[in-house]
Structure formats: structure tokens, C-alpha cells
Amino acid sequence: MKFADFVCFEAIIPELSAADRDGAIAELVSALDKAGLLGNNNCQKIIKAVIERENEASTGMGKGVAVPHVKDEAAKDVVAVVGLSSRGIDFSSLDKQPVYSVILLISPADNPDRHLQAMETIFKHLQQDRFRKFLRQSQTAEQIKDLLREADENPSL
Amino acid sequence: MCEVEVEVKNADGLHMRPAMQFVDVASMFECDITVSNSENSVDGKSIMQMSMLAATCGTNLKIRAEGADAQQAVDTLRKLVEEKMFDEPPPKGKKKS
């Protein structure tokens, strides 16, 4: 799978206004909702579900990145959005360090394989030091979009 | 060096929670642990790398361990994947609650 297959470019948030985890999650889910990807009246329910999932076990994998996610019937296919925070957000990450790049993912309830394929794409790139650095340094939605497009073309980025 | 091939049997596959469980168990051993699918070989003690495997239900994985407690590690991880199935249900009656 490619980023372009599941990341909603128009929902990208180059600088999250929220300073805390739950606020960032709410901002990102709302952006997907505004883009019309979550059906009707599911936004609050999904925000709650993502936060609950995050409380069970942090998706802050270390190295400044977090990948909060949840399954929900409202999603017809996997949808994701990227948000950055230059000051960093406490995600209770594995390495206890703040998170600067968040990729939030909503997956359909009945297609676990699609979810795994999207995660594969996300971590294939998040693992690369160069990709993480470029992502964190991006300042506009356009730059993030270009980076994701470039990563789609170049598996080693 | 010890090696075993396992099949992912829980319906949702190796998503983040099972992958973390795998990494937690693998990290209890001193030996080096490598997990491979048909395309990639990754460090069985790294959650980011394990998430790259996209191991869906039915996927075969090779677990390879090198070091003093390799045999024990391989046995324990095989049980986690195939017998305990990460405490998750198999496909059958479709999705879990």
C-alpha cells in the first residue's frame, strides 16, 4: 500500500494547536470528519474510542512518533491523517520522550488485513531516520504531502 | 541457532497489541531473535520493525534465535503465536466483539 492510498492529504495538520494527547487526537479525528471521511455524527464517538485505545497501551513507539488508531464501522476503508507538533506532546511513549509526529489511523471494523497493510507502510518509513527527520521538519501541509508522495516512490526513504 | 516456522492464527493478525506482546516476550531472552516473512527479516525485539511484517491471519513467519537460550525462546514464541494466539480469537465466527 502507498501513503496516497489511505492518507487524507487535505486533512493534514502541519502544526497542532493542542498541547496534550487527547486534544491532538480530537483535532486529527475532527479533520478527517471535516473531510467527510467518517460518515455522519461519528466524530465524538471515534475521538472517545481512540483515546480509550490509547489508554490501554500507548501507541507512542518512541523516536518522537505516535500512531493512535482504532477500528470503526464508520470507516469504509483505512483512512489516516498526519499532524505535527513542534513543541512536542506527551504520549506516554515507550521511551518517555515527547511526540512530534502523529499519524492517526481509522480502520474498517471488518478488514483486519487492510489495517495491517497500512501499518506496514507507516512503519516501513517511520523506521527510517531520514523520513522521521524530514517529517518533523516539515512546516506546511504541502511539504508533508510532498514527503509522503516521495516516500511512495522511494521505498528507502 | 534455532529456527521454527509458525502460522499466525488469530483473525486480526499481528497488529500492534500482539506485536507488543511478541516483543515483550522476545525481550525476556538474551539471544538475538529475527522474524521473517517472505519479504523481510526484522528484529523480533523491535516493535517498529515487527509492525512492518504486516502478518495477516494465515501468514507464515520464521522465527530464528541465536544465543544461549535460543531453544527456549523459540519454543515460548511459537506457543504465543500458535497456541495462545495472543489471547485473541481465530477467524471462524467472524469479528470479535
Give B2-87's CATH code, choosing from 1.20.1250.20, 3.30.1340.10, 3.30.2310.20, 3.40.190.10: 3.30.1340.10
Q: What is the mean pLDDT of residues A142-157?
A: 96
Residues sharing a CB contact under 8 Å with residue B74, sequence separation 6 or more, in sequence order: B2, B3, B4, B63, B64, B65
Q: Take residue A110 and report the three cell numbers written for it.
A: 471488518
pLDDT tens-digit map of A65-109: 999 999 999 999 999 999 999 999 999 999 999 999 999 999 999
Q: Domain boundaries in chain A?
A: 3-153
pLDDT tens-digit map of A27-63: 999 999 999 999 999 999 999 999 999 999 999 999 9
Q: Domain boundaries in chain B?
A: 2-87
Which residue from B87, B81, B82, B72 is spatially nearest to B2, judged by alpha carbons?
B72
Q: How many CB atoms lie within 10 A of CB B41?
A: 13
**Distance from C-alpha of B94 to C-alpha of A110, rounded to nearest angstrom:** 8
Quick check: B53 pLDDT over 50? yes
**Could you tell me what percentage of chain B is helix, strand and coil, using 3-state DSSP and rounding each to the nearest 5?**
35, 20, 45
**Which pLDDT band holds residue B92 (cuts at 50, 70, 90)?**
confident
What is the pairing mode between strands A99-107 and A69-71? parallel
CB–CB contact B54 A69 (8 Å): no
Quick check: A144 pLDDT over 60? yes
**Distance from C-alpha of A111 to C-alpha of B11, rounded to nearest angstrom:** 10
Q: DSSP secondary-structure letter at A63?
A: T
Question: B90 and B17 in contact (C-beta within 8 Å)?
Answer: no
| pLDDT reported for residue B93 | 64
What is the overall mean pLDDT for chain B?
Answer: 94
Chain B interface disruption, residue of A93, A119, A129, most B CBs within 10 A: A119
CB–CB contact B94 A110 (8 Å): yes
C-alpha distance from residue A108 to each of A3, A37, A89, A94, A101 (Å): 17, 12, 27, 27, 23
Cα three-residue angle A112-A117-A118, rounded to 5 degrees: 100
SS3 for A80?
strand
pLDDT tens-digit map of B62-89: 999 999 999 999 999 999 999 999 999 9
Q: What is the mean pLDDT of residues A136-143?
A: 98
**Distance from C-alpha of A20 to C-alpha of A48, rounded to nearest angstrom:** 15
CB–CB contact A123 B56 (8 Å): no
CB–CB contact A112 B52 (8 Å): no
C-alpha distance from residue A3 to each of A54, A58, A77, A116 (Å): 23, 23, 13, 13
Positive or negative, the CA dihedral A85, A86, A89, A91 is positive
CB-CB: which of B11, B16, B48 is closest to A127? Answer: B48
Regarding the domain with residue range A3-153, which homologous superfamily does it belong to in the CATH classification? Mannitol-specific EII; Chain A (3.40.930.10)
- B16 CB near a chain A CB, below 8 Å? yes
Residues of B with a catalytic annotation lie at 15
Quick check: B97 pLDDT over 50? no
